[in-house]
Amino acid sequence: MHSIYSYWHFDPVSILFITMLCLFYLYAIRFKIRKQSLFFFAGISIIIICVASPLHFLGENYLFSAHMISHVLLLLIAAPLLVAGIPQENVFRKYFLFLSTHKIKIHVLCWFTGVGIMWFWHIPYIFNMAASARSMGLMHAQWLSLLVAGIIFCWPILNPYRQYRIPSLSAVLYLSLACVFCTLLGLMITFAPLGMYMPYLHISDSNGFLNIIRNQWKISASIDQQAAGLIMWVPCCLIYLTASMAILVKWYDQKPYEVRDAIMIKN
């Protein structure tokens, strides 16, 4: 039996998507790699971990908690890194600027998209149906929708055109409300009756790793579900709150200069 850590699998659809995304980015920046591009390619690395590594293997076959880690990485780590890697000068500048208009309506839509997609995929009925289908197409749709929703969610915060970002205090509220709803979802999963998420209660152990997980790693179905809920709750909120604190610190540092400039203009 192979080691769990050797289970890397690159399916054609994932390879095609990642390749096309990289080519699209390189075309957008006119094939001029810059320091900012490191963020984008770090995001690509996270995507690869989520869709091709042993983490993906464990999440699809054995552990709800591993499945949840992949979702959090796609939505809250990979997506922001991709957006942070977009320079102001790019081939699609006019389209990005167009998307940045109608601020309030767009920002509300972005928030509901980012928060709603995580709730949607973890409604027990939807979750069980998707997992039971064992469809590669549905699996790709799931991780792709999380990535796209993550990009949409963080756009108002990390918009490459700073003048179109939401104000600092609004950004803190934006992220704090997302933290509240992640907490509610995490609590729901953590304290849900065992068996509400059926695929991880009755595992088809075709690869022979269940004994290792249950007896060596000491991860029971109950512990696994509770860990998944806590991952949704604690790390997600830490990410949101850390981003909020960073925005507040930056806003606070800028205030003295804004006051000084206002006084100079007044005089």
pLDDT tens profile 49-98: 999 999 999 999 999 999 999 999 999 999 999 999 999 888 877 777 76
pLDDT averaged over the chain?
89
> So what's the pLDDT on residue 261?
46
Cβ-contact 86, 160 below 8 angstroms: yes
- Which has more pLDDT, 24 or 207? 24
> So what's the pLDDT on residue 101?
63
Confidence of residue 106 (pLDDT cuts 50, 70, 90): confident
129-185 pLDDT per residue, tens: 888 777 788 889 999 999 999 999 999 999 988 888 999 999 999 999 999 999 999
Whether residue 193 is predicted with pLDDT greater than 70 in this model: the reply is yes
What's the pTM?
Answer: 0.90
Cβ-contact 116, 88 below 8 angstroms: no
Whether residue 102 is predicted with pLDDT greater than 80 in this model: the reply is no
Count Cβ atoms below 10 Å from residue 113 Cβ, excluding itself: 17
Cβ-contact 155, 86 below 8 angstroms: no
In angstroms, rounded to a whole number, what is the distance separating the alpha carbons of residues 151 and 130?
23
Query: Residue 35: is it exposed, middle or buried by C-beta count within 10 angstroms (0-12/13-18/19+)?
Result: exposed
CA gyration radius, the chain: 21
> So what's the pLDDT on residue 123?
93
Q: Which residue type occupies 57?
A: F
> So what's the pLDDT on residue 242?
96
